[in-house]
Amino acid sequence: MKKLHDEGYSLAELALKFDCSKSLVRDLVELANLPKDLEEAYELGKMGRKKVLELARTGKSPSKPQEVISPQKPTKPEPASAPMMSQEERERKASGGADLVIEWFRSTGLPPCDWEMCWSQVNSGLYGRLLLLFTSEAPKLGEINPDEDPRAVIKRCQVKSKSPASMADVINDSVKELARWSQRIFQDREVMKKAFTRAESQLRREARELRLF
């Protein structure tokens, strides 16, 4: 998105090209230009898209205290950021998350011969052209409940669409569903990527054992 914008595409042209709102395109372009400290806070899930963009647009840093406007009306303090997870905690969550992804993947009904195509879509959602899909399916403020059972979250995020016309439709619906629930369960993007990588490795290994690809 940023590359296309740098090449001269206007926000309106990009919105038309990707069939989304102009404001979402602007947000994605600005996310690609975040300062290092805000980029790190966003990647680690310590701040949401709205907050980091607000700070970026005002030139503030998450490490800088906000100024008090007046002694009579002090600004309301920001809620404390979630403590950064230790590497051991990340590994534990990534391992459990990989099991969830594998369990969900098998429940989709996709035949193993189509797993590779589905994973290419998932990876594109994390790093490439389907980033827009993952962004559009991101949870809204207050929607995440860390105490909710993960399987209940997955069930709540099921894509309710008409009977798919082809396997490509099944794959597209599956990727959209994964984009929904994964961002509501994995509050740390690094953990989510690790869980996806481990799940993909395991499922590809199973497919190879079946000599399907």
Q: Following DSSP, what letter does each residue of 74-94 receive, concatenated? A: PPPPPPPPPPPPPHHHHHHHH
Q: Output the pTM of the full model.
A: 0.54
Each residue's pLDDT tens digit, 95-117: 999 999 989 888 887 777 777 77
pLDDT at residue 200, as a whole number? 85
For residue 99, the model assigns a pLDDT of 93
pLDDT confidence of residue 66: 46
pLDDT digits (tens, 9 = 90+) for 56-101: 888 776 655 444 444 454 444 443 344 567 888 888 888 999 999 9
Among 168, 135, 153, 152, CA closest to 23: 135
Write down the pLDDT at residue 100: 92
- Number of C-beta neighbours around residue 67 at 10 A: 7
Say what percent of the chain tops pLDDT 70: 72
The pLDDT of residue 5:
63
Write the DSSP symbol of residue 114: G
Q: Which residues contact 187 (CB under 8 A, 6 or more apart)?
A: 45, 82, 144, 146
Q: Calculate the average pLDDT of the chain.
A: 75
Q: Which pLDDT belongs to residue 80?
A: 38
As a whole number, mean pLDDT of residues 34-53 equals 78
Cα distances (Å, whole numbers) of residue 111 to 106, 107, 123, 136: 9, 10, 19, 27
Q: What is the SS3 assignment for 112?
A: helix
